[in-house]
A and B are shown apart, each in its own frame.
Chain A
């Protein structure tokens, strides 16, 4: 937890977007969980930018830090977890004339303080994976949507209910007047996820974090929800960070993709580059390991050997090198590669593409 500067200085210059298009910048973010059995380094220096008005996918295997990244940005990491260092800068835009009105470093704010509470739910919001466990079972759908509206938009209950019904209608919920009076257990999985989306959208956030929003749903319901999110995104020009491990969903939904491995970003690129020109061995192995629907010939799947190491252990060098077929002995197992530009809107962290070394790995 020392040596705060060296790696991060160079990395802050690596960005794949022009500054005016960025809504959120994450730099050198470290989130650790201090548990009884040791320190779990969930985020180990995460760097990426989120472009305004686009859908950015975050992919990686379980435990790579996708969800913790979103929770850190929203300042919802609770004990024993803690952001130990790094910056998260939100560039707030005026809703009318589109000029940037302020830059806020979210890590400097009190997690439960008034500033953060005024941003959470209003400026940034989140859809969780399991709608059954993330909705409160003892309040009606209407009450839960209205809570945010009353808090952030300062309207009375009657008006808030009107808005809640309008939002439910907007996400394609049948009979919204009845649904506001219902409890979560009375709805089906697809309807619950629509309610969850309504809840997240109730205050027109500029960034929406969607954490595996369709993983618990059936394929036809999933298709409906994805279609709905795509429609909403283009209609109100919302920025969406789409966290998922399903590469099919990523290909269908996203403009850009950030690939994470063991608490770090290993590659960030446009959707087309990720699928057709992946640079990091981890990205290409992920793509080779999934069955491609519609590929008539039955190719054997190529699994990534080994498993994701546990976050308590410390690995020297590139965290992927023990599973990497292209690892260079003497280099990959010694130094941590730095994030470097390898093309238009394409950064990668790998010694096959650059000699840049990161030395901030504490």
Chain B
């Protein structure tokens, strides 16, 4: 278990998630009878250090977005603990908090959404969008509010004169800056970045990624960076967690994960990334079949039907996430035996 983090000082951590579960009921028919469960997040264990960026990657439907949203309780967890190192209250379990208690700690955690078009209210001006969290939390009003917004807009690289414009007047990159300013308004400690650049053009992606890096350095922010683009994740993350069908299969420092992966799924992902270098053309590892359905996952290790190293044990026993090397965790029965190739092959 990740929770036995003996060699890590607890004070260095901001968040520790233990056995987090989020199930969705599948309801059918007129009386909406439950006919099954989708185990979107199925026993996730992870920790996040203060000031770091943890990348969370995986293919669509693997539960990475659900994990991010459940951590800040935008979705109610089905089970597990979400331990948060609150600057005033110390370690608290977010999963056990009621609405009122949650209100007091929520200002420490914010989210930046993927789609800068649907995540901003088209009928609100930029000023109102950014001021909303400040007003709700009764942090500023009047002159002070006006100044705070000027400051926030400058921080994200927008001209404060644009405060009375509506979102439609801005390009995708500018809108994402508005979303970032809104997230920063309450001085959060933790920001969940849910695919913040995947809707943007390549040159604009670079602008927003650089902004996120600058803000992290200046404001000492901690990011959970949810994305499917492995080159973006490599660029921004200190550590990376790989998810497959609701479970973590590997967690490690970015370099260790990309260059010496310890899980066959990570190996296949790394081989599949198209490298922007015509002199390095390689063939991907063939993954037979499709990603398993979280409503009806296979037995044992969820990846075994597609794994080229699978043996008998893989179909009967689910491998736990264990530490194979210092701070390098893998959920594979053969993690320490397999010689897997990383991103450079």
A224 in contact with B284 (CB, 8 Å)? yes
Closest to A246 in B: B274
Given the known A-B contacts A62-B201, A218-B59, are A293 and B273 also in contact in the complex, defined by CB atoms under 8 Å?
yes
CB-CB < 8 A to A248: which residues of B?
231, 273-276
Closest to B213 in A: A300
Interface residues of B in 327-344 (CB under 8 A from A): 343-344
Q: Say whether chain A's binding surface is mostly helix, strand, loop, or mixed.
A: helix
CB-CB < 8 A to B307: which residues of A?
none
A247 in contact with B206 (CB, 8 Å)? no
Check if B13 is an interface residue, CB within 8 A of chain A: no
> What is the distance, in angstroms, from A81's C-beta to the closest C-beta of chain B?
22
Check if B123 is an interface residue, CB within 8 A of chain A: no
Report how far A287 CA is from B206 CA in the complex, Å: 11
CB-CB < 8 A to A247: which residues of B?
202, 276
Given the known A-B contacts A290-B231, A293-B231, are A303 and B206 also in contact in the complex, defined by CB atoms under 8 Å?
yes
CB-CB < 8 A to A220: which residues of B?
59, 268-269, 272, 284, 287
A251 in contact with B274 (CB, 8 Å)? yes
CB-CB < 8 A to B209: which residues of A?
291, 301
Check if B173 is an interface residue, CB within 8 A of chain A: yes
Check if B60 is an interface residue, CB within 8 A of chain A: yes
Check if A222 is an interface residue, CB within 8 A of chain B: yes
Report how far A329 CA is from B204 CA in the complex, Å: 25
* CB < 8 Å A-B pair total: 128
Interface residues of A in 54-112 (CB under 8 A from B): 61-62
Check if A223 is an interface residue, CB within 8 A of chain B: yes
Check if B203 is an interface residue, CB within 8 A of chain A: yes
CB-CB < 8 A to B269: which residues of A?
219-220
A300 in contact with B210 (CB, 8 Å)? yes
Interface residues of A in 211-236 (CB under 8 A from B): 218-224, 226-227
CB-CB < 8 A to B271: which residues of A?
223
A290 in contact with B202 (CB, 8 Å)? yes
Check if A173 is an interface residue, CB within 8 A of chain B: no
A307 in contact with B173 (CB, 8 Å)? yes
CB-CB < 8 A to A275: which residues of B?
276-279
Check if A188 is an interface residue, CB within 8 A of chain B: yes
> What is the distance, in angstroms, from A67's C-beta to the closest C-beta of chain B?
14
CB-CB < 8 A to A274: which residues of B?
278
> What is the distance, in angstroms, from A295's C-beta to the closest C-beta of chain B?
8
B278 in contact with A218 (CB, 8 Å)? no
Check if A292 is an interface residue, CB within 8 A of chain B: yes
Check if B230 is an interface residue, CB within 8 A of chain A: yes
> What is the distance, in angstroms, from B9's C-beta to the closest C-beta of chain A?
25
Check if A331 is an interface residue, CB within 8 A of chain B: no
Report how far A222 CA is from B60 CA in the complex, Å: 13
Closest to B211 in A: A303
Report how far A219 CA is from B258 CA in the complex, Å: 15
A219 in contact with B278 (CB, 8 Å)? no
Check if A289 is an interface residue, CB within 8 A of chain B: yes
Closest to B201 in A: A61
Given the known A-B contacts A286-B203, A301-B235, are A292 and B290 also in contact in the complex, defined by CB atoms under 8 Å?
no
Report how far A222 CA is from B274 CA in the complex, Å: 9
CB-CB < 8 A to A188: which residues of B?
290
Q: Interface of B with A (CB < 8 Å)?
A: 59-60, 171, 173, 201-207, 209-210, 213, 228, 230-232, 234-235, 255, 258-259, 268-269, 271-281, 283-284, 286-287, 290-291, 343-344
Q: Interface of A with B (CB < 8 Å)?
A: 61-62, 188-190, 218-224, 226-227, 245-254, 271-272, 274-276, 285-287, 289-294, 296, 298, 300-304, 307-308
Top 10 closest A-B pairs, CB basis?
A: A248-B274, A223-B284, A291-B235, A303-B206, A293-B231, A223-B272, A301-B206, A304-B203, A218-B59, A289-B206
Instruction: List, sorted by A's number, 15 A–B pairs whose CB atoms are closer than 8 Å.
Output: A190-B290, A219-B269, A220-B59, A224-B286, A226-B274, A275-B278, A286-B202, A291-B234, A292-B276, A293-B234, A300-B210, A300-B213, A301-B235, A302-B206, A307-B204
For the complex with contacts A226-B284, A291-B235, 6 further pairs of A-B residues with Cβ separation under 8 Å are A223-B271, A224-B287, A251-B275, A251-B280, A252-B274, A294-B275
